[in-house]
């Protein structure tokens, strides 16, 4: 039996639904097609438990490239083709560049000022993007080459020392490079508390932004209900996420400020912003902006590059011929006397194509990050409602037979020759005004790590303990915003004594 309070809560929660139904029934064009919806729930009952991008791609074969779904009052528009993603998120960026209003993540977890969540109409947005562009453009990132190269060498040394922990090593490498870029912080060891901050935050973020997970995202009024009311345990979960996110944002920033005060800071994004040339102290608002942008760098840059590196190990263990061809190319250009550098990129087209194919076959962000449409719109005769959550199904775009023939075959050659297929980076890093600002930095990190590893090491599949045969690893990727491959069994060994000397 419902108590009177619970009944009141349910009625209060449903009021906005009735208001919303009334408001949204007054347009002439039809919604994009989609699977049949139930009253009130919409498509909630059909949401897949995991890997929704695969289900959306299947649905789009039945209903067409643009899908419309509803989860209570939340309207989702899923774009399953490159053309629709470009036409809306790029060409109509003026109205497709906001982020979804998500009271759970924004208000309860205190992430509304995070780079990823802030609306493009918020006065801070331009400042955030300008700071990101200034620090991550191709010229600015040249300044990070040394740290990327020295972290790549350290990665190879760790892989040699404890190859079975390769997944831990690549995650540490990705986080270390970004911690240095954002805060000037050098990671001490694998148990460094700063590394734990990003591990905790990424687990919480996966939950906090899951579509349909939090009732309050469909019924914002719930956020004002006091915690003593029955059925509000989600508020306690939100409070614990918030504590995790606050630590993730505040601790590294406070560390850099402390180093500045002691006169021992290493130049970084944060120190350069705080130590102005004219000597003026930043206002509280300015300092808060720097704190959020530095946090955006750390949040955006570590898990993503780590996931792509995980897929690299998977690919090398699955396709020894591709590995040998990459190594032959590196040997021909660099010999055994020196390690590859970013200046070798043009001379290593097969390696570059392999990286593009990793990003295509195993996208790091299969659903990108959701955009929001801020005006009612009409596209190809279909009504895209104001405030709908618009998601580019990046996985579907990168596995579209029309753009990438034979899309399930891992084939770097598709990006070579006189008629290469469309560069996968065009989709893998998102769209329009919200496209990933870390693209050049990510590419440079991947190239340096991958070429260093291939110059020194051989990655083979693990062996079956009974038959002694290779076990070719199957690709199994996690389902979240950032999709990590399951760690595989593999054997990592030194290629030659000469290679070892390069890392001494």
| Region near ligand HEM per CB under 6 A, out of 30-38, 248-256, 432-440, 462-470 | 432-440
**Considering only residues 42, 184, 300, 480, which one is a binding residue for ligand HEM as defined by CB under 6 A?**
300
92 CB-near residues (< 8 Å, 6+ apart): 377
DSSP of 93-161, one letter per residue? HHHH-B----HIIIIISS-TTSTTTS-TTSHHHHHHHHHHHHHHSTTGGGGGHHHHHHHHHHHHHHHHH
Q: Are 404 and 421 in contact (CB under 8 A)?
A: yes
Phi and psi, residue 128, nearest 5°: -55, -50
Select from 227, 248, 232, 284 the least CA-distant residue to 110: 248
Query: In the sheet that 389-392 helps form, which strands lie side by side, from edge to edge?
Result: 66-71, 74-79, 389-392, 371-372
- Residue 481 touching ligand HEM (CB under 6 A): no
- Contact flags string 304-323 toward ligand HEM, x per CB under 6 A: xx--x---------------
Residue 362 makes contact with ligand HEM by CB under 6 A: no
- Give residues 196-255 in contact with ligand HEM (rule: CB under 6 A): none
Instruction: Tell me 362's DSSP state.
Output: S
Number of residues that bind ligand HEM (CB under 6 A): 27
Binds ligand HEM (CB under 6 A): choice among 245, 269, 431, 503: 431
d(CA 205, CA 110): 12
Q: State the nearest-atom distance from the C-beta of 433 to ligand HEM, in Å.
A: 7
Contacts of 54 (CB under 8 A, 6+ apart): 48, 395
Residue 16 Cα distances to 6, 9, 351, 471, angstroms: 17, 12, 54, 55
> Judged by CB under 6 A, does residue 290 bind ligand HEM?
no
- DSSP letter for 487, please: P
Q: Tell which positions 112-171 bind ligand HEM, by CB under 6 A.
A: 115-116, 132, 136
- Which one of residues 430, 461, 480, 485 is an interface residue with ligand HEM (CB under 6 A)? 430
Match 């929001």 to its residue by tokens: 372
The CB-of-467 to ligand HEM minimum distance in angstroms stands at: 36
Residue 356 C-beta: closest distance to ligand HEM, Å: 11
Task: Tell me the window of 26-34, 153-161, 360-368, 380-388 that interacts with ligand HEM (CB under 6 A).
Answer: 360-368
Cα 444 to Cα 425: distance, rounded to the nearest angstrom: 13
Residue number with CB closer to ligand HEM (434 or 461): 434
- Between residue 439 and residue 458, which ones bind ligand HEM under the rule CB under 6 A? 441-442
Q: Which part of the chain contacts ligand HEM (CB under 6 A), choosing from 37-45, 63-71, 163-171, 293-301? A: 293-301
Binding site for ligand HEM (CB under 6 A): 115-116, 132, 136, 178, 296-297, 300-301, 304-305, 308, 364-365, 368-369, 428-431, 434-438, 441-442
């Amino acid at each position: 039996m419902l108590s009177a309070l619970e009944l009141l809560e349910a009625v209060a929660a449903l009021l906005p639904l009735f208001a919303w139904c009334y408001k949204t029934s007054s347009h002439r064009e039809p919604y994009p097609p989609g699977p049949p919806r139930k009253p009130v729930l919409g498509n909630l009952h059909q949401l897949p438990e995991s890997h929704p991008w695969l289900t959306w791609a299947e649905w789009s074969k039945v209903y067409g490239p643009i899908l419309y779904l509803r989860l209570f009052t939340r309207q989702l528009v899923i774009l399953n083709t490159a053309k629709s993603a470009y036409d809306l998120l790029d060409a109509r960026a003026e109205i497709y560049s906001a982020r979804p209003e998500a009271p759970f993540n924004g208000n309860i977890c205190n992430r509304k000022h995070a780079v990823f969540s802030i609306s493009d109409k918020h006065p801070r947005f331009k400042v955030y993007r300008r700071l990101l562009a200034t620090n991550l453009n191709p010229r600015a990132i040249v300044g990070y080459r040394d740290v990327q190269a020295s972290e790549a060498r350290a990665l190879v040394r760790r892989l040699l020392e404890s190859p079975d922990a390769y997944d831990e090593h690549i995650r540490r490498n990705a986080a270390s490079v970004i911690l240095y870029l954002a805060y000037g912080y050098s990671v001490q060891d694998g148990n460094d508390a700063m590394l734990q901050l990003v591990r905790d935050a990424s687990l919480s973020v996966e939950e906090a932004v899951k579509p349909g997970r939090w009732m309050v995202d469909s019924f914002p009024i719930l956020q004002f209900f006091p915690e003593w009311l029955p059925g509000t345990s989600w508020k306690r979960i939100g409070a614990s996420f918030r504590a995790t996110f606050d630590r993730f944002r505040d601790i590294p920033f406070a560390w850099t400020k402390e180093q500045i005060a002691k006169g021992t800071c290493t130049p970084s994004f944060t120190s350069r912003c705080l130590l102005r040339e004219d000597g003026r102290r930043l206002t509280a608002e300015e300092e808060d902006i720097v704190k959020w942008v530095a946090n955006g760098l750390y949040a955006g840059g570590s898990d993503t590059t780590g996931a792509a590196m995980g897929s690299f190990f998977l690919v090398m263990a699955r396709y020894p011929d591709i590995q040998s061809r990459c190594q032959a190319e590196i040997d021909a250009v660099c010999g055994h006397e020196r390690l590859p550098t970013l200046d070798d990129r043009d001379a290593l087209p097969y390696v570059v194509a392999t990286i593009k194919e990793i990003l295509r076959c195993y996208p790091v962000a299969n659903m990108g990050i959701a955009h929001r449409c801020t005006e009612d719109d009409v596209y190809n005769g279909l009504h895209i409602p104001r405030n709908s959550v618009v998601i580019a199904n990046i996985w579907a775009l990168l596995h579209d037979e029309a753009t990438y023939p034979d899309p399930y075959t891992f084939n770097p050659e598709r990006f070579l020759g006189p008629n290469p297929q469309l560069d996968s980076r065009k989709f893998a890093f998102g769209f329009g005004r919200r496209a990933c600002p870390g693209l050049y930095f990510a590419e440079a990190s991947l190239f340096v790590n991958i070429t260093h590893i291939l110059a020194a090491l051989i990655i083979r599949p693990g062996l079956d303990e009974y038959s002694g045969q290779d076990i070719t690893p199957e690709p199994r990727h996690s389902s979240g915003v950032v999709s990590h491959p399951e760690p595989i069994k593999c054997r990592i060994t030194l290629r030659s004594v000469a290679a070892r000397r390069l890392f001494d």
